[in-house]
Amino acid sequence: MSACLPVSTPHDGLFGAARHRAMFAVALSVLLSVLDYAVVNVALPTIAHNIHTTASAAIWVVNAYQLASLISLLPLAALGDRIGHAQMCRFGLVLFIIASVLCALSRTLPELAAARALQGFGGACIMSVNAALVRFIYPAAILGRGIALNGLVVALGVALGPTIAALVLSVATWQWLFLINLPLGGAALYYAVTALPVTPRLGGGFDYLGTILLAAGLGGFIIGLDSFAHSSGIALAMLSLATGALCLFALVRWQIGRSDPLLPIDLLARRGFRMAFITGFFGFVGSNFFIIPMPFMLMDVLHRGPVATGLLITPWPLAIVMVAPLVGRLADRFPAATLSTLGLALTGTGFLLLRLMPASPGDFDIAWRIAVAGSGFGLFQPPNNKAMITTAPAHRTGAASGMISVARLLGQTVGGMLVALTLGLVVHGAANECLALASGFAFLAAILSASRARK
């Protein structure tokens, strides 16, 4: 392995076969993380029945993964800046493979939740540096294509998740949902070891106090929102939110003046980066107001079966996949203020059209509206992600990469909790109200995105 590049070393990507092999390593790693999350979501009822737990308790099979990922993304991104982005990705793959075996061997909910938390930590190692690696794999002139390809892999994982879960459960037990990670993880690890580029590393020590404050702050914030959304105790919810807010306040004070803060307040001080982060957050809040309640609407209100429900939702990720090649080229020619705004407006329009559907729509009436929303979401993500990466200095690429994933995960988490709160408060027509809110959040994100054009 060659020596580390100094921070000042110019770098304009890889070329030819080297670029293809390196991007294949990143794509396989990202697919492993996203696919596992999507597969487990679909199989949750089966897992809950098999380990003899309730549906509400089984949610922690998902929550443990998501919470572990969210609170560790930024510390891992900072650590990746110090040990190398490729090294962090390799470590994450090894950890993910080990955790997958532990998940398959679990027999109780606490065992499975703990293994899933470890798996979420491994996934965060991958997702904290994947965009940073893309920046060093692709030349600046075509960076948008690399970021679009990265988004395409995420959408492909979401699209394949339900199908793979159904196929595996039709011929095997739920444990095989985790064991299938072994060959995919092995291939990803091989290419990560042999093809990923050496990237610049930062000097200096690791911020342990900042890591503790960040974990306590985000953990308290998420647990408090979850308790409030599910009405599991107002006192606990308020205590958790207060603890989270206090720790995040202390973290900000601790980070002021640091040259490479764990919580990237230096990047958030840049208007372009800050607006891209906020736009991404609200975009994913809006998407969860569609993704979570739509299956319930299709099955309970529109009386579609499980297979038909899965097929009718497929246009969402399929549209994202189909627009990705075009968006990659457009992102290298037009600013995010133009493309992301247009994409979010299209997404909001698609959600609004779903809200205004007739009482008994046909399958095509449902599918084309979902496709409109999905194509808009596919147009929004790559330019917005590119804006976050390119507005950060080269030596802060790792932090910017981590913040891309934080915007997505935080938006999905908060969106999911707001959906739960809406479903609890609205007695009749909750799914329609969620679609109205999905449209509202998408248009809000579009307005925030458009505000960047003034610059």
Q: Give residue limits of the domains in the chain.
A: 14-200, 208-257, 259-455
Give the pLDDT score at 401. 79
Give the pLDDT score at 159. 67
Give the pLDDT score at 224. 82
Give the pLDDT score at 230. 64
Neighbours of 406 (CB within 10 A): 25
Distance CA 323, CA 419 (A): 28
pLDDT at position 7 over 70: no
Angle of CA points 406, 410, 416, to nearest 5°: 150
Same fold, 14-200 and 259-455: yes
Neighbours of 186 (CB within 10 A): 12
Secondary structure of the chain in HEC code, one letter for each residue: CCCCCCCCCCCCCCCHHHHHHHHHHHHHHHHHHHHHHHHHHHHHHHHHHHCCCCHHHHCHHHHHHHHHHHHHHHHHHHHHHHHCHHHHHHHHHHHHHHHHHHHHHCCCHHHHHHHHHHHHHHHHHHHCCHHHHHHHHCCHHHHHHHHHHHHHHHHHHHHHHHHHHHHHHHHCCCCHHHHCHHHHHHHHHHHHHHHCCCCCCCCCCCCHHHHHHHHHHHHHHHHHHHHHHCCCCHHHHHHHHHHHHHHHHHHHHHHCCCCCCCCCHHHHCCHHHHHHHHHHHHHHHHHHHHHCHHHHHHHHHCCCCHHHHHHHHCHHHHHHHHHHHHHHHHHCCCCHHHHHHHHHHHHHHHHHHHHCCCCCCCHHHHHHHHHHHHHHHHHHHHHHHHHHHHCCCHHHHHHHHHHHHHHHHHHHHHHHHHHHHHHHHCCCCHHHHHHHHHHHHHHHHHHHHHHHHHC
CATH 1.10.1670.40: does it fit domain 259-455? no
Report yes or no: 103 and 119 within 8 Å, Cβ to Cβ: yes
Q: Where are the alpha helices (DSSP H) in 356-391?
A: 363-390
Percent of the chain's residues with pLDDT above 90: 30
Give the pLDDT score at 55. 61
Comparison of pLDDT for 256 and 58, the residue scoring more:
256
Strands annotated E in 314-444: none
Highest-scoring range by mean pLDDT, 97-111, 151-165, 189-203: 97-111
Highest-scoring range by mean pLDDT, 14-18, 152-156, 162-166, 380-384: 380-384
CATH code assigned to 14-200: 1.20.1250.20
**How far, rounded to the nearest angstrom, does the alpha carbon of residue 94 sit from its chain's CA centroid?**
20
- Which residue, 322, 314, 338, is CA-closest to 387? 338
pLDDT band with cut points at 50, 70 and 90 for residue 329: confident
Q: What is the pTM of this model?
A: 0.78
**pLDDT digits over 137-153, tens only?**
988 888 888 887 887 78
Residue 185 makes CB contacts below 8 A (sequence gap 6+) with 32, 93, 96, 97, 100
Give the pLDDT score at 6. 36
Percent of the chain's residues with pLDDT above 70: 93
Comparison of pLDDT for 441 and 428, the residue scoring more:
441
Residue 371 makes CB contacts below 8 A (sequence gap 6+) with 315, 316, 318, 319, 350
Average pLDDT over residues 115-122: 93
Report yes or no: 229 and 420 within 8 Å, Cβ to Cβ: yes
**How far, rounded to the nearest angstrom, does the alpha carbon of residue 195 sit from its chain's CA centroid?**
24
